[in-house]
Each structure stands twice: as C-alpha cells, then as structure tokens.
Chains A and B, each alone.
Chain A
Amino acid sequence: MKARFNGLSVVKIFIYAFFGLFLIIPLLAVFLISFTNEPVNIIGTFTDPAVFSSTIDKLKAINLENYRQIFSNAGYLDSLKNSLSLALVVMVLVILICIPLAYGIARTNMPFKKTISALCTIPLIIPTFISAYAFIIMFGRAGWVTYFYEMLGGEGMLIDPYSMTGIILVQVFFFFPYALWPLVAAFKISDVTLEEASLNLGAKNWFTFIFVTFPLAIPGIISSALLIFTVSFSDFGTPIVLAPKDLNLMVVEAYREISGFFNWGGAAILTVIMIIVAALFFWLQHILTKGKNYGSVSGKPKQQKMVTNKVVTRSLSVYSFIIVLVPLLAMLSVLLQSVATTWGKDLLPSGYTLKHYQTIFSTSLGNIQNSIVLAIGALVLSVIIATFVSYFVVRQNSAKMDFMTSIPLVVPGIAFGIALIQTFNVAPLQLTGTAILLIIAYTIRRLPYMVRSTMGAMRAIKQDIEEAAINLGATPLTAAITVIGPLLLPGIAAGSVLVFITVIKETSISILLAPPEWAPMSLAIFQNILRAEYYSAAAMSVILVALVLVLQGLASYIGKKQRL
C-alpha cells in the first residue's frame, strides 16, 4: 500500500519528533559531552548562530582525552569494577536461590505452594530504596536483628547494611522474583519424556535432575541471570541509600558528579558506560530468548509428573518460606516503625502511636498530591502515545517505531535523568526543574510497558474491522478515534495501572529532576531518610506501598473482569 499523507502521518511525525527531542537528542548530547567534557547545547545549535559556532568549536576540539582519564581516574574505574561485581554477585546468588524455589513451584507438590507464590510478589511492589531503608531498621546499629544477635552473644552488627554486603542482600531478596517466574516456566517445559526415559533406565531422581532436567532449563536460567544483572546494575534506590562514602558505584558516582560537582564530562562518561553495559546485557538476553517461545517447544503441554516425595517437598517448602520471610519481615519492620513512638535497640517499639501519619497528613500531603498528579500526567501522555505507537507497529509494521520506543528499556533511570538535565538546562528549551520535563521523563521511561499492553490489545483487533470503518467513509484517523480507540480500552486500562504504579515507585528520575515544589512521595521519603527522620519516612513508605497495593488490586480486578 502506498503511503498517503493524512492525519495519521501527522501523528506519526509528532511521535517521532517527541522521541527525537526527549530521548534521542539527550542521549546524543550525553555521548558528545562525554568527548567534549563541556556542555553541548544541541537544540540551541540549531536555533542560535552563536551557540552554533561554539558547538562547532567544541566538536573540533574533540579528543579521547576524557576517556583516557577513566583509566587514570581511579574513582571511575573503581566504580565500574564495583558495579560490575555487584551485579555479578547478585546475579549468581539470585539464580542459586531461585533454582530450588522455582523447581519447587514448577515440579513438586510442596505444601503451601500458593501462599509461597503469592508472597513472592511482595518484593516487586516495593521501591528498592524503601527495601534498603527497611534493612537499616533490621540490621542497623539500632536494629532488632542486631539486638537479637547480641542477645545470642554476637558482637557488633550481624551484617552492616551500609556496605557492599548490605546492598547485595537487599538486591538479592528484592530482585529474585524477576528471575523466579521465567525459571518456573523453564522448569515447566523441560522434556518430560526424556526425564521419564531416564527414570525408566533406573536412574535416581537426583541423577535425573542434575543430568536431564537441569541442563534442559539452562537457556532459561542464563536468560534470567542476564536480566537480573541488568536490573541490579541499573538499580539506583539501594546504592543511594546504603552505599558508604568509600564505596564507589557507577549510579551513585554519576549522581554525585551531576548533582554535587556539576562535572558534566564525568557524569556523561559514566552515563555512556552505564548505557553500554545495560544495553549489552539486554541485547544478550534478547538474542538468547529470541525465537524461543517457551511453552510451545513441544507443541501441546504435556502432563507433568509432580514430585511428591515428602522429604523433598517439605524441605523445599521450609526453604521457600525462609526466602520469602526476609522481604516480609522487612516490610513489617517498616510498618512497625511507622506506628512506633520510639524504637531503639530492642525487639519491639517501646510504644505505639499514629502521630507520624498525622504529621504526614498535615505537612506532607503535598507530596502525595504531587505523586498522584505527576502519575496522572504521565499516564495520560503514555496512553495517547502508546495507542498510536501500537497502531503503527501492529498495523503498519513500523519496525523503526518499535525499536525507538524500546530504547528506554536499556537506559538506566539515572542515566536518562542525567541526559535530560544536560540537554534541557539552557535556552531555548529550558525545562529542567519543571513538572513538564518530569512528566515527560516518567512517560518515556515507562512507555515500553504501556506499549506492550496496548500492542496486545491491538493485535486482537482484526484488520477488517478497521477496513470496514474506512470503507464506510471514515478517514484512517477517524477510524482510529471511533473504532480502534474504544476497542483498545481494556488494554489501555491495564497498561495505565502499570504506568501509574511504576511512576509512583520511580526513584532515580524523581530524585534527579523533581523541583522542590513538585517533590513526589519517593523524593520526600528519600530526603527524610537522608535527614534521619526515620519515622516519617516509614509512615510515608507505608502510604506509598498501600497505594501501590490498591492499584495492583484494581489491575487484577480489571484483568479478571476482562476475561469473563
């Protein structure tokens, strides 16, 4: 079909322009600045001749000096090494922890399987900086675990939360569900006939597991591992709360360079490296899973024999409870702290009160409002953009648009924030410090999730429905508004809740870009933690998690209603 110029092509151009301006140009700017070591005003270059000539001068002076410095600047090199080893250790630990858990869920009749599966979703609803803070309540100098530990005769802290170990533990216990469900899927598809053959040949159960079941699940395991690596490497919430002064991590280092020292070149180099590492691992994971549609490997699903051996299922069940207990206790600690009068180094608070919530509702109601307004703003923008993007991708096979809207998946939040600041802090488009830029940043960062949701709904709408509208006289744009839009509504609703939740949880972008008058809840909690106002931080965290829980409930309600 020949491309014809119509309302839809205008929308398409608008979307490309939006992404170009707020994603591509900022990333390009960071890339340039990492070489020039000086601010480069890309947008100004095209509007202001003076800026143009200065940009040209800067570009002429480009050299690799800056990159050479990475290797001489011990700080940068250390931070890269530390971040990589953090991600590596977390990746290995998560996989080791998850294998028995996933096997238990996928292939055994272990007791309390449903409860355990449900508890495994807790970590996903909690922003990592709250998890990190919960670890302080537990393991800190005045934590109840520490109290316990000393009671049992230990000395000092069992684990210092303000350390690499602390960061690793938080990430392991709060990121493991990302790997768990893909692993469960991998164990489910393993070839049952092969396993039965092995058992028939007289092999023991454990032998079959090690030499048949496990090897078949290896692609799934590697892919989950790569995913965890990227998540851990890009995580900002945990390190910013727990990293001690002498521990350099890329995300923290980049944050300090931009917000503390205004060192543009340094921040840019760190950002570029972060993106490259994250993109590399994302790409590795992508090529590994490509063309592998789990679940359809051998056509129809086979009835799998579940392991019923009591010793095996009971020990797996106990083990699983221990794993999910950690995040559960962490959340309970935050909840207790939020209603405690004081909670010193003791097993329980000395008294209970609701005054922290009162304080919040009298002084910090604004933050809650801000979070909601910002989230709604991002949601509206995402809905509009995602609807059209999925239309172009599904109906017009626009691979370019598919690719462009997937880019945010590989850009760590902190990196994206830095890129935006460096692009929009000068005229002609001085947006840094405005709610607009904040909303746009949230939107772009979470758009891939929204697009996935609407794209699914779009695929379900048959092409001929749209053709019927056009045949009846509607222009493609009118057909999109009156027919496609209303039919997409369920997919849009599901995606919206997801966007809303992730925006409320968002840490890095909020901390970097939110101006004081627009501070959302996450920023307020973060500042409270920095100021050691732990009780208000706890109360606000509880409100945030409650809000997320309510929305999640709403989402599953919508999902259920759809299926009816």
Chain B
Amino acid sequence: MGSVIIENMTKQFGDFTALHNINLEIQEGEFFALLGPSGCGKTTTMRCIAGFEHPTSGKIKIGDKEVEKIPANRRNCGMVFQSYALFPHMNVFDNVAYSLNIKQLNASNPVKQLGIYARLLSKRLGRTPKDIQEKVMEILKYVELDQHAERLTSELSGGQQQRVALARALVMEPAVLLMDEPLSNLDQKLRHSMRNTIRTIQQDLGITTIFVTHDQEEAMSMADRVAVMDKGNIVQIGTPTELYSNPLTPFIADFVGTSNILDVEVVDHNQLNGLTTLKGDSFLLQSTNTIEKKQAKAVIRPEHIQVLPYDTAVNNEEVTVLEGIVVMSTYLGPTVRYDMKVGNQEMIVDTTYSSGTSIFEEGRKVKLSIEHGRVLLI
C-alpha cells in the first residue's frame, strides 16, 4: 500500500513537452482525481506512474520507494484501461486469475513454469490451483460477477466488462489503483451507478486510487482531492469544494462548473465597508473580495444570481442589483437556465424552479441581484 509522490516530473516526446514539471503528493488511501481537457497530459502522467512511459526528468515514488529502475511488470500498480483491455481469448475467471497465475509463474522453477504456461495456454493441460480459484471467486463475488465467471468477456455488457477490469486490477492487491477515464465508454445512467460502485469499493478497501477524467462532475463527485491539469501543467490542487469556491484561474472557474467570467476594471476599494467597486462593460459591481490588479476577472456562479421582476424594490445593502433582458430561457427540470444580457455583457443565470413560480419569458426586462460575497476576483 502506499502514497504516490511525484517530484518535478517532465515528459517530452521529441520536441513536444507533454508534462511540465509536475508535482503531486497523494496520500495513502486517498481517492485522487486528475482532471483536465483531452490532450492535457493526464494519460501520460498515469503511464509514467505505471511504468509504460519514462519521465524525461523528475522522480516518482510509490510507497516511499523510487520506481525509476523498476520495470512496469513489477510496479504493482493495478490499472483499469479506458478500453478495459480485457483478454478476448480468456473468460471472466481467467482474466481475473491472470495476475495470480503470473505471480505463481514468476515464483516457480523453470520446470514448473512450463506447466503453468501450458495451463495458461490450454485449460486441458492443467488446473488452476485451489488458492487462486478461491481468491478469484471471492473478488468476483465482490463485484457481483461470480455468476458470469465462465463467460467470455465479449458476452458481457459494458458495465460488467468494466467490473471485470476492476476485479482484475484489484485481485493483485496493488499498491495504487490507476483508472484512465474508466467510465467514458458507458452510457449516462450506468456511469452514475458505476461512480458509486467505484467509490464504495475504494472506501471499502482503502486503496490509494488515481482516477483520470475529463468530466468535472465525475471528478468532483468522487474524489477526495482533484488536480486540475491544463496543457501539461497542474494548475490547481484541492478538494472539490475548494476548487469550486476558490478557483485560482479563469480556466479552472470555467472548467469546474459553469461560471460567468466578466472582464472588469477595479475602480475603488472602500476600506470602511471592505467593498471593491468594479467597472464592467456597461455596469458597476461590488465585491467583498480584494485584488491587487487593475484589470481583473469577476467570477460569478450562475446559481448565485437571483432573478427578480423588474418592478421589485430591493433594499439590501449586501447585494448589487443590475438590469437585464432575458435572451433565452431553458427549462431543465428542477432548474431554469436564463441566458441574459446586461448591457452588452452576456450572463448565465440558474434559478431553482418550483411549480407555481412563473418563468420569465424571452425579451422581458428583469432585475438581477448578486451578493457582494459571491463575486470572486481573479
């Protein structure tokens, strides 16, 4: 079991630098997500940990041990591939038993090895030892596949294949579990239930897990901590709530959840009430946050903006009130999303919808109320 520490890791493919000076410290038992758009270097990071790629410079430690000199087959990192990479010529049982058979093979003398090779190539030539059988069946039961042990993997559904891949990685009791976009091949519904399954198993076994995804919802809902990557750099590491409420860059604000990111100019900071006044495209805005820069970005989450009928009188010192026009309204079940225009500035607003309230129709003039505390500056 172990922590994973990456120090100053850089990876180049020819002239192209895929990873710039990556630093990560993943605790033992932690569920850690690598989040970022496609092509940002997530898979490369993972392949470096698994030993399929070798960093151009930097160090990787698994459980306090430097792994540079350890080849991929002895790193004991269980990997769940994006395509699952199940062995198509083996049934479910043999897929899961593979690592245990190999372990036995590596520990045997050459004569015994021949026997193990023979039974790996043809069932008729030998039987899987009892202890391996038991272990495999135990883990299959755990992922609810013990009924399908004799099936070919091609006869299973996507979700079942996914669990075979997971069982196959878990049975070797890896120091770290690596998962590369494991849910991306599943349909929406299955994806949600697999999220829970994976999270539960991870908690249950307390296994250090690195989970790669480009889906922020996935990362935010499953991981203890998330590292957001962009163009080969790690831009922020934090818990899901930290990332959401305190994005360090507009990229993260945009990538983690939906945000209104407004270009603003800092015009005044009032020492008495602690409010910063911002001048936007065609509006003034106030925030309780401070920033050193003159040109900044104000980040406002769509659900932090309140929509009110135009004739409402607002007497609240703690909010900014803007006038807007509804450009489009989209009904999303429990919420309604409005595309608004404030002057020339476009804004997205999410409001909870409960029956009885009416939806503001397109073209309608409305008031928008934003709490000073909800205006982030970056």
Contact = CB atoms under 8 A, between A and B. Distances in A.
Do these two chains really belong together in a complex? yes
Given A464-B83, A486-B89, A487-B88, A472 B117 contact: no
A321 to B, nearest CB: 46
A472 B81 CA distance: 12
B74 A473 contact: yes
Interface stretch (A206-214, A477-485, A496-504, A514-522): A477-485
B79 interface: yes
Contacts of A482: 98, 117, 120-121
A475 B121 contact: no
A469 B117 CA distance: 14
Contacts of A470: 52, 72-73
A475 B113 CA distance: 13
Given A468-B81, A483-B87, A474 B71 contact: no
Interface string B324-358: 00000000000000000000000000000000000
B72 A471 contact: yes
Residue with the highest number of chain B CB atoms closer than 10 Å, among A1, A464, A485:
A464
Contact of B99 (A2, A472, A475, A487): A472
B172 interface: yes
A460 to B, nearest CB: 11
A473 B99 contact: yes
Interface stretch (B101-109, B214-222, B230-238): B101-109
A471 B120 contact: no
A4 B77 CA distance: 20
Contact of B52 (A4, A467, A472, A474): A467
A462 interface: yes
Nearest to B81: A464
Contacts of B4: none
B102 A472 contact: yes
B85 A475 contact: no
Contacts of A197: none
B121 A462 contact: no
B300 interface: no
A201 to B, nearest CB: 50
A465 interface: yes
Contact of A471 (B78, B82, B86): B78
A469 B90 CA distance: 12
Given A464-B81, A465-B87, A473 B117 contact: no
A99 to B, nearest CB: 45
A486 B168 contact: no
B76 to A, nearest CB: 8
Nearest to A465: B85
Nearest to A467: B52
Interface residues of A, number: 23
A1 B106 CA distance: 24
A462 B99 contact: no
Residue with the highest number of chain A CB atoms closer than 10 Å, among B73, B87, B120:
B73
A556 B39 CA distance: 44
Interface in B216-255: none
Given A465-B87, A471-B50, A4 B102 contact: no
B54 A462 contact: no
B125 to A, nearest CB: 13
A473 B106 contact: yes
Nearest to B105: A478
B73 A464 contact: no
B313 to A, nearest CB: 63
A470 B76 CA distance: 10
Given A464-B85, A465-B87, A474 B117 contact: no
B102 A487 contact: no
Contacts of B102: 472-474, 478
B72 A468 contact: no
Contacts, number: 74
Contact of B85 (A462, A474, A485, A486): A462
Contacts of A4: 71
Nearest to B54: A2
B87 A474 contact: no
A474 B76 CA distance: 11
A468 B85 contact: yes
Contacts of B53: 1
Residue with the highest number of chain B CB atoms closer than 10 Å, among A465, A473, A475, A482:
A473
A472 B83 CA distance: 16
A469 B103 CA distance: 12
The main secondary structure of chain A at its interface with chain B is: helix
A462 B84 CA distance: 11
Contact of B73 (A471, A481, A483, A485): A471
Nearest to A464: B85
Interface in B256-288: none
Interface string A296-317: 0000000000000000000000
Nearest to B106: A473
B83 A462 contact: yes
A49 B261 CA distance: 84
A475 B73 contact: yes
Contacts of A478: 102, 105
A478 B72 CA distance: 13
Nearest to A461: B88
Contacts of B99: 472-473
A546 to B, nearest CB: 33
Contacts of A468: 79, 81, 85-87, 168
A56 to B, nearest CB: 44
Given A1-B54, A4-B71, A482-B120, A472 B98 contact: yes
A485 B53 CA distance: 24
B54 A473 contact: no
Contacts of A472: 73, 98-99, 102, 168-169, 172
Interface string B164-178: 000011001000000
A478 B108 CA distance: 13
Contacts of A473: 73-74, 76, 99, 102-103, 106, 172
Contacts of A462: 83, 85
Contacts of B71: 4
A467 B82 CA distance: 12
Nearest to A4: B71
Nearest to A474: B102
A437 B54 CA distance: 44
Nearest to B78: A471
A478 B71 CA distance: 14
Contacts of A474: 73, 98, 102
Nearest to A471: B79
A477 to B, nearest CB: 10
A4 B69 CA distance: 10
Interface string A1-16: 1101000000000000
Residue with the highest number of chain B CB atoms closer than 10 Å, among A462, A467, A468, A487:
A468
Contacts of A486: 89, 121
A1 B83 CA distance: 22
Interface in B121-139: 121
Residue with the highest number of chain A CB atoms closer than 10 Å, among B77, B82, B85, B121:
B85
Contacts of B169: 471-472
A483 B85 CA distance: 11
B44 to A, nearest CB: 13
Contacts of B77: 471
Contacts of B172: 472-473
Contacts of A1: 52-54
Nearest to B82: A464
B353 to A, nearest CB: 45
A486 B123 CA distance: 13
Contact of A469 (B74, B76, B87, B88): B87
A1 to B, nearest CB: 6
12 contacts: A464-B81, A468-B79, A468-B85, A468-B168, A471-B50, A472-B169, A474-B98, A478-B102, A478-B105, A482-B98, A482-B121, A483-B87
Closest A-B pairs by Cβ, 3 of them = A472-B99, A468-B85, A464-B85
Given A465-B87, A471-B72, A472-B102, 5 more contacts: A464-B81, A470-B72, A473-B102, A478-B102, A482-B120
